[in-house]
Every structure is written in structure tokens, then in C-alpha cells.
Chain A
Amino acid sequence: DVKVTQSSRYLVKRTGEKVFLECVQDMDHENMFWYRQDPGLGLRLIYFSYDVKMKEKGDIPEGYSVSREKKERFSLILESASTNQTSMYLCASSGWGGGQETQYFGPGTRLLVL
């Protein structure tokens, strides 16, 4: 079975802190994605990566950066956390088949920024 894990299920941080969200997949997938999910707004793509050290901005990249040093690991970084970044963060991965590939999701991290 495909397994995508995220480092924390729940996280509480202070405004201005640097926050790291880690995601690891065990299926040797090329593509990895970070989404945030907010009530009424659905899932919105923050960043994605199609290869090691490669990244592309999604729909809402402002305030975030990412790092992919190894194929199995994709990190989302909040350089200076703000209260409007309180959200549910979901990581996903998929193979290199383009649009036909299924994205598999991790359990999510609920981040609260105080």
C-alpha cells in the first residue's frame, strides 16, 4: 500500500516562528504536493515538486517555501508564521504518469498559529 506520512497531526506555533512541515512517501513517487484546506475554500495547491530539487508554485505560494532534497521527502516551510496560516495542511504524492496518476494523501497536519 502507498503510504504518505506527515511529521505531526497537530501543531501549535506562535506568530513569527519558522515552521517546518515534513512529508515522506514510500512509493518512489516523482511528484509531491502540498495543499492547504480551509472551510469554504476547499483544497488549494501551495507548491509541488516533480523531482528532487525541483519545485513549482501552486495557486497560493505566498508566505511559503518548500524543500526537496531527497525523492521521498518534501518539506513545507513557513518562514514567519502568521495567524492567517492557521489551516489544515495536506501532503500528497503521485507517480510520473502525468494527469492519469492518482495522488495519495497523508493524514494531514492541523496547524494553529497564535
Chain B
Amino acid sequence: AQKVTQAQTEISVVEKEDVTLDCVYETRDTTYYLFWYKQPPSGELVFLIRRNSFDEQNEISGRYSWNFQKSTSSFNFTITASQVVDSAVYFCALSGGSSNTGKLIFGQGTTLQVKP
């Protein structure tokens, strides 16, 4: 069975602090895909990144970076120098390579509050 665990329910930081959101996954597929989404207070889920299981290279996009480690089944997300606009719920999600419909398994989400 596939599963995604985001153990951190809520995180609160002060602006300019770095913060890491944890994501641990379980899957039996050898090919799979991992995603991060951001859900601001407006409600829409905004796609941030997709990673396939064959690419363990870390990725950086501005203040965002992602650390994918197959050995620990983790796909963690770090925000550097956080800003108030980063306040949102962040979801990690998994889809299997054997799926032809792209069904996503979501974690429970981590609520990030960045205080000024």
C-alpha cells in the first residue's frame, strides 16, 4: 500500500528563519513520483515540484529547496529566509508509476505560520 506521512502538523517560525517540512513515503513501486503542493488561505492547491524516483538530485528554486533521499524514503522541503507570504498548508503527495490514471496519495499536510 502507498502512504505519505507528514509528521509535523503545525510549524510556527519568525520571518527570515529557515524551515524544513518533512515528508516520508511508502511504496512498493520501483517507479514513482513525488509532489509538493502549497495551499494558501485562499484554498487553491498550487503545484510546487515533481520528482521521479530515478532522480535523486536535490533541487533549488529561489528560496525553496527539496532533498530527496530514497534510502530513507524522504522528500523534505526547505524554505530559506521564510516570509509571511509562505504561510500556508503544504502537502506532500505520491503517485505510482504503475498507475495509468495518476492517482495521488496525499499526506495530511503541514500548516506553516510565518510571523513577522
Question: A106-B44, A107-B44 are known contacts. Are A42 and B101 too (CB-CB below 8 A)?
Answer: no
Q: Which of B60-107 contact A (CB under 8 A)?
A: 91, 95-104, 106-107
Question: A99-B33, A100-B33, A100-B97 are known contacts. Are A42 and B102 too (CB-CB below 8 A)?
Answer: no
A99 to B29, CA, bound (A): 11
B98: which A residues are within 8 A, CB to CB? 99
Q: Which residue of A lies closest to B101 (CB)?
A: A50
Q: Which residue of B lies closest to A50 (CB)?
A: B101
Q: Which residue of B lies closest to A42 (CB)?
A: B108
Interface range on chain B: under 10, 10 to 19, 20 to 34, or 35 or more? 20 to 34
Q: Is the CB of B106 within 8 A of A108?
A: no
B96: which A residues are within 8 A, CB to CB? 99
Interface of B is mostly: loop
Question: A42-B106, A99-B33 are known contacts. Are A88 and B97 too (CB-CB below 8 A)?
Answer: no
Assess whether B43 is interfacial by the CB under 8 Å rule: yes
Assess whether A104 is interfacial by the CB under 8 Å rule: yes
Q: Is the CB of B91 within 8 A of A97?
A: no
Q: Is the CB of B45 within 8 A of A105?
A: yes
Assess whether A85 is interfacial by the CB under 8 Å rule: no
A11: which B residues are within 8 A, CB to CB? none
Q: Which residue of B lies closest to A100 (CB)?
A: B33
Assess whether B57 is interfacial by the CB under 8 Å rule: no
Of the candidates B42, B43, B50, B97, the one whose C-beta lies within 8 Å of that of A102 is B50
A45 to B101, CA, bound (A): 13
Question: A42-B107, A99-B95, A99-B97 are known contacts. Are A90 and B45 too (CB-CB below 8 A)?
Answer: yes
A interface residue numbers (CB < 8 A to B): 9, 31, 33, 40-43, 45, 48, 50, 56, 58, 88, 90, 92, 94, 97-108, 110
B interface residue numbers (CB < 8 A to A): 29, 31-33, 35, 37, 42-47, 50, 52, 91, 95-104, 106-109
